[in-house]
Amino acid sequence: MGFKVVDLWCKDLGLTLSTRRFRARAARAEFRGNNIILLCPLSFMNLSGESVRACADYYDLETERILVVHDDLDIPLGRIKVARESGAGGHKGVSSIIRHLGSTGFCRVKIGIGHPRYGEAVEDYVLAPFYADERGLAEDVLRVAVNACELFVLEGVESAMNHINCQNLVN
């Protein structure tokens, strides 16, 4: 889901993730007067922290200015949670980022995907397309997640949390 959010935001901004620096697809952009870097690691998910750390070091980014967008099995589809300084919650990509940054001080946009309905293995479920009856909702969620990223950049994490965490797209 994180890559889909970044790709959608890039589309909105007229960007293409083209740079292959940091073992990632990346692009630098200006968003309403703010310089941003969009990054999608090309490594295995459980090695994502390597790309994030390389980018953060290169641009001398403070950890609290980093926003990681990822899926979350423990949040139902239709909910998004903006958070800061939280644990990995079993997410191997987030664990890698924590390990490589040496901190939980970065911010997150956690996108709920819920649990498998039909006994699928979690590894298969997170990589599969959404169930047919969820696809419209998933598209709406992506749009709200892009909005969460924009709010983070423009107004900060507190504002993003206040605007996004109370939304439930299922109702």
Q: What is the CATH number of the domain that holds 159?
A: 3.40.50.1470
C-alpha to C-alpha distance for 120 and 76, rounded to whole angstroms: 17
Residue-wise pLDDT tens digits, 88-127: 888 889 999 999 999 999 999 999 999 999 999 998 998 8
C-alpha to C-alpha distance for 35 and 46, rounded to whole angstroms: 28
Instruction: Give yes or no for a contact between 110 and 94, defined as CB atoms under 8 angstroms apart.
Output: no
In-domain check, residue 170? no
% of the chain beyond a pLDDT of 90? 86
Instruction: Give yes or no for a contact between 15 and 29, defined as CB atoms under 8 angstroms apart.
Output: yes
Query: Which token pair is 115?
Result: 């649990």
In-domain check, residue 48? yes
User: What is the value of pTM for the model shown?
Assistant: 0.93
Total domains in the fold of the chain = 1
Q: What is the pLDDT of residue 89?
A: 85
In-domain check, residue 169? no
Q: Which domain holds residue 139?
A: 2-164
In-domain check, residue 70? yes
Query: Which token pair is 127?
Result: 């990589």
Alpha helices in 30-87 (DSSP H): 48-59
In-domain check, residue 139? yes
Residue-wise pLDDT tens digits, 37-71: 999 999 877 789 999 999 999 999 999 999 999 99
In-domain check, residue 171? no
